Structure 1
């Protein structure tokens, strides 16, 4: 009898710990930009992704080779419709049907396609035809996808920059720019009715670039800082990412769309830049992305949305050597084109066979499930930063309702068996 009790407790503990890991990992995705002439084959990229804990991949188009290479895996895909295709999809339902027939229907359900994003930052692109055509393009594409049982569950959305907000500081004052209100209201109504997410690109890096003080850097990198009190909500923020996401939440709520969920379509930090580009170092990029991963895995959520992490896509998987602009634009990749790491963001599985030339930095330690830079993690009990060399920190998922439910069940069974 005692042996049976022990086996049952072990099994329940395994279910509980697996639920924590599965729920937290499912929040983390990555962007796959392809403005480059040296990217590895799709099969190699698929192998790399499967050596990590990344569970989602966002494409800016609909690369057939990548979609096919991820068939039968647990990695879901966000596909992209180019801005140049918006006018034709908006004016001609058959064009939308053809886009779906070519880019989605041949691959589902073998490949998991979760969302199709119609355009990228189209509303504030400066092209009025894109803003006016966005909603009908989304509607026509949704109709085309819904006509197929295999693709009916694929959501249709679009991606916005933070420029659609007129106000974001403090987060409780978040509001959409009046110039975009008319276009956004229709799009948001579509998202609400379709159960699709509002996709946004918050970049703490750009916030730091506009205010390059040491205290701003710590706030942007999830590092110890005094925090910032939002006088409107009376909530205290300890990092810029949460502040930006909650500003979007406030804007959505203020416009009457509290039920529309947020997805962070892009966020990242360049590890290299021109001499006049502040903060573009390997150390800062590793701190931002590593601490972001730890934050998402913790399931702590934001002050305005506690207890659950926002689905987030890190920018980017690879460097893109053909991008124009400053050096930083070509230096967001976690990996080089030869699949060696630019730095370790804590996403590799312990058993990863992908080689890398960048060794783990001081302050990173290994656990069987996940590792984060312990030097930046706040000690829960003593209220101080943990020191380099202390034990690896496994983020808590206490705030997650699903995991809390499992915890209560586990404790209840333990009490019954003792």
Structure 2
């Protein structure tokens, strides 16, 4: 599929204990010689994709995704975060323009706020850092005001929970399994998804893990 900016991602949703045999696709549009939005959506449909992640809230793509039964993740772009964090009216307008205009015909299920904000050490990114959570909260308030409750606005995961240093216990509502760290959750999600696909006995090895100390800067990890 030369020139098509479509990357696969896992569709396991731990919080709802939902799995699907359908693939998910990251739909990026930075590049040249890319297919049109119409062609791209047709490719998704031909692949029987179950979910697609957009890196913005492109009107043409959202219209084309209407009545396709594809679950859609849209994104508040980095340059919109500060203004949304500062003003609830701005957040309400964003939800009106980018969600209500297409929902529910387009099955918007997740709103992501920013892209790789914390992994960049640039001055522009650093200016956004302190506005990230307030922007997420304002978007959530806007959704609740419209009584929209089946669209998720992902929340932060405890750093200690990710680093195996937490006393927090999370009970999965679907399986009843109790987790004390994010690594076990992620491994179980892979095992569970592979089992559902008919590959229950594939051994897994962790080749690399860690926590970034400076994002992508010089590729350094701790």
1:116 is paired with a residue whose SS is strand
What is the CA-CA distance between 1:38 and the residue it aligns to? 3.2
Q: Per the alignment, do residues 62 and 125 of structure 1 end up closer, same or farther by CA in structure 2, a change over 3 Å counting?
A: same
The 2-side partners of 1:60 and 1:80 are apart by: 5
- Contact 1:25–1:53, Cα closer than 8 Å, also in 2: no
- Rate the CA distance shift 1:260–1:94 in 2: closer, same or farther, 3 A: farther
Partner of 1:130: 128
Work out the number of aligned pairs and report it: 169
* TM norm structure 2: 0.64
Given the alignment of the two structures, is residue 25 of structure 1 paired with residue 21 of structure 2, yes or no? yes
Q: 2:134 matched to 1:254?
A: no
In structure 2, the gaps of 5 or more residues are: 1-17, 173-181, 202-222
Q: Deviations over 1:312-336 (max 9, x none)?
A: 9xxxxxxxxxxxxxxxxxxxxxxxx
**Alpha carbons of 1:23 and 1:136: their partners in 2 closer, same or farther (altered >3 Å)?**
closer
1:150-189 correspondence to structure 2 within 5 Å: 151-157=148-154, 187-188=156-157
C-alpha distance 129-92 of structure 1, shift in aligned 2 (>3 A)? same
- Taking the aligned partners of 2:59 and 2:191, their CA distance within structure 1 comes to 28
Shift of 1:257: 5.4
- Between structure 1 and structure 2, the one with the greater Rg is 1
For residue 83 of structure 1, the aligned residue among 78, 92, 107 is 78
1:42: Cα distance to partner?
2.2
Aligned residues: CA RMSD: 3.4
Q: State the TM-score, normalizing by the size of structure 1.
A: 0.36
Deviations 1:170-212 (A, max 9, x none): xxxxxxxxxxxxxxxxx447xxxxxxxxxxxxxxxxxxxxxxx
Q: Could you tell me how far apart the structure 1 residues matched to 2:157 and 2:183 are? A: 23
Q: CA deviation at 1:125?
A: 2.4
- Which residue number in structure 1 is paired with residue 56 of structure 2? 61
Aligned-residue offset at 1:142? 0.7
- Equivalent residue number for residue 364 of structure 1: none
